[in-house]
Structure 1
Amino acid sequence: MVSSPAPDQESEGKGDISCEKLVARFLTYGSQDDEGLIRRAFDVAFKAHAEQSRDNGDPYITHPLAVAMILARFRLDAQSICTALLHDTIEDTGVSHDDLKRQFGATVADLVDGVTKLTRLELQSDRTKQAENFRKLVLAMSKDIRVLLVKLADRLHNMRTLHFVERTDRRQRIARETLDIYAPLAERIGMDRVKTELQNLSFAQLEPEADSTIRTRLNYLRGQGADVIEDVRCELLRLCHEAGLKDVQVSGREKSPYSIWEKMQRRNVAFEQLSDIMAFRVVVDTRESCYAALGAVHAAYPMIAGRFKDYISTPKANGYQSLHTGVTLRSPRNQKIEVQIRTRPMHDVAENGVAAHWAYKEGTGVQEGGYGGLRRPRWVQDLLEILEASSAPDEFLENTKLELYQDQVFCFTPKGQLISLPRGATPVDFAYAVHSQIGDTCVGAKINGRLMPLRHELENGDQVEIMTARGGAPSPSWERFVVTGKARARIRRYVTQQQRQAALDSGRVALAKAFRQEGVDGAEKVIETTLKALKQSSLSDLYVAVGSNALTARDVVHAAYPELRRVQRVPRMLAGLPGVLGTAGPRLHAGGGNALGRKPSARAVPLVGLGSGVAVHYAACCHPLPGDRIVGVVATGKGVTIHTRNCQTLESFAATPERFLDVDWDYDAMARTGDGGAVRVGRISVVAENDASVLAGITNAISRCDAPMVNLKIVNRQLEYMEIIVDVEVRDLRHLSSVIAGLRAVSGITQADRARS
């Protein structure tokens, strides 16, 4: 069987620790002006690693020499070759960054420094360290893609010699990391040969029995079907010649052991049930000839439905272009085969990816961002956005793996922009791929003109129109069906921010109440003095710690006023303040009771700033609660109505400022009685998925917070979401904040905030 060669797997440099072969290889495409630079780099590396050896006993210099040879086979520039030779010097020897900068220039020194930070990426420590190192890789390759090319060559040679590592667990950790991270990265930059070899080498370490079994079966079929493969190759060549195509090359190959095993796992079938382990590649001279060859193949053999893919008119994100089709041979035994058709430049890109595009000549922009005149790939930008959105290293690593593993579908915006997404992507993934802000405010989607659920899986060719709404926000439930790492990172970031804000608000209210109860100053300047003692980095972190119950409000008070730890304080009376009056409990409904039909509490409402016998009402527009800053508005014959100071209704009284009264809650009276008097109504606005189960979640969450629900109204219902107003009986603002925090944790709720109207 004829097959395209994998990257040379000979141990480059073994038995020969001079750089003559490397220089000779480089001079086949590079300039003689760079020969001296490469020889100097080799000399520095040779001296630096003189006392070191590899696991197999070879001098250590054989490793950087082999890495450099791999890059030379991909025809990379002299700076990349020097980086490969020097990539371990900063980490493992006494050579410094300044030494390299002085001898080889800033570019080589920075490249070596970038790779140095990444060479200990094996899973030899905890997962967090691995994730942190991978963050460095993303940042480094976003500035210069050659960092990734050197790292892939480094990992490829390490995998080729992995069998010399004695510890089985270490071999498997390295193989797992290679399969999870480096093979997908190689695929993303189009280096298919490197990806395939990394996958097969990793597979042999992780699943040795399966690898051995598949290779045995392949050897058997190779012996049984050698004549068939050659016959099919000759038949395809004849068909192309009859179609008028002259300069044609046809080669046959078999799928790699790892890809066969992956397909067996994905389809849950045995090896014998696979029908397309043979593939044939047709290489022609022009783009038009590709379609002519495709027509000849389809005219001769029945096409397998669903197996045709046109990656020429719609290339993959890594630049891959080819026509793929599956056909059934009439003999022998109706064998199914895959046929790939492409031009020679397309074939070069398919095999070597970014390396095929690399510019070596002067004036091609190699110095501009390290991309050889190429634009930074979109997926690299996506990884940077994931890095920005992920709050924890582990989360970044998980979301990155989602982003790297992709079998793509291609969809279009209404304006015709092409968006490539992984198989199984949804409109939410599409929205985030277009722009992060569109994803954050997405509330619905039209696919090919029809309104469809946000969890609908997109297919090739779909036109997707995203519907957004002002004030819309990601739903935590989206995380269950999105498949891109970018979408998941943004959703988690929003949820984390919401939870932090809820805890921050709750903590601020709790601290204000605690300081007032003790009768001491609770200004932020006072609270800031406690940060060091309580091991908090900022004031906001302290509020969050109190709101999430990591600290108690009393801990903070005692840290600010240590003398209070030793004195049992008696709640004090505020001297000279007017009497505490009030006649109204919760907001009254028709019939004289509250919304549950109960009579209001007979307890007095603890307010200060009012005269004796004044009737008090609480405004239904803002539902003021203890903890709010409030103001009283006098109405002739009706008493005083209490509003929050930020209530929009107050604007209507701007022309009569004499009606305003300066009032406040009597927190001392509340402390004295042990509660805040009668319960009050708090109003919450909720945006949730249009699902009956969400309503059950709302009622359960409110019940757990000991806040009886007095009213629930759906004010707006759409296909994907609904807006709900909920009235609950609470004691104060802190109690309401805990209810809101509980609602935000409910699956299916997108937004939960205090209603202001």
Structure 2
Amino acid sequence: WFHQIREVIHNQETDSIDFLQDFKTSFLTEEIYVYTPKGDVKMLPVGSTALDFAFAIHSAIGVKTIGAKVNHKLVPISHKLHSGDQVEIITSNKQKASEDWLGFVVTSKAKGRIRDALKEEKRKVSDEGRYAVQRKLEGLGASMSQHNIDEMVHWYKLPSNLDLFYQVAIKNIDLKELKDFKVVGDRIEAPKPIKHVTEKHEFIPHIGKKDAELIIFGESSDKIVYNLAKCCNPIPGDDVFGFVTTGKGLTIHRSNCPNAAKLLASYGHRVVKTKWAKNKEISFLTGIKIVGMDDVGVVSKITNLISGELKINISALTIEAKEGLFEGNIKLYVHDKEELDNLVQKLLALQGIASVERYDMEDIPS
């Protein structure tokens, strides 16, 4: 109990509000008693998950956790534990902490270590963004000064330098936009907001439907130049919007695309309502990740369902197995979201399959 208090106090990332919340959650609630496969006992707050248990064992184990076996049954990391459960943690060196984890862990140690891991990962990725910003500024004849960085942070409406470098590194920010900045000596000055009004009149006629509020695309005879955003890989049936891009026509994003909030906030005048046209002749590339028990014939079951029963074309498939669990990454072509949803439901119905998730980002495995 005192060890848990020490964990919270020494966690420098925890502010006063988080401390009070963690104190109530971790120390003023009832506890459960959970066992390791060797019979060791771990005490955790009621509502703790398999991931809380993993962090209770060791932080290094927690950040690599991909699943667990509770009473010899495969469960996801968000599975809530009960007194008397025997828990075996399954890890993978490829696993990384996710911000989603903060939504279901309850112990202060797990929350603190997840935040630490996320910040450390962000710092590593941000280094690439920092070098990219420096090269771009030097190319413009400006310096890598705090003033210039602050100017960019303010322009992109980001909370910190780290966030700027991170967004550049993951290609959410295109540094080509800096050509609109004014260079005075070795300093840059962001364009005045009035520039956005001018851009509005430039881009709307490019659509080709001057007064239309809704653009329907996807038909084979469609004259609108459009492309599908790689950051979210939309397919017919997804809720989407169009973003007008110079020289590229319309770029289609999913409404829940990670970049949607920034595009709508900063470039709302270049966003147009769009809707898919029904077209079963065209297939779209998407990807799914499957996790389940590593059993004989599991790959055959999956491929027979996809290619044999549902007649869906597989572009690529990789399967990795470790410690009784397999993880499969599949790239395939579907006609629309309805076909993809049907596939996901049928895969989940197969014995031994624990989870099936669609890849949302451009990190669909190559």
TM-score w.r.t. structure 2 length?
0.47
More strand by share: 2
TM-score w.r.t. structure 1 length?
0.25
More helix by share: 1
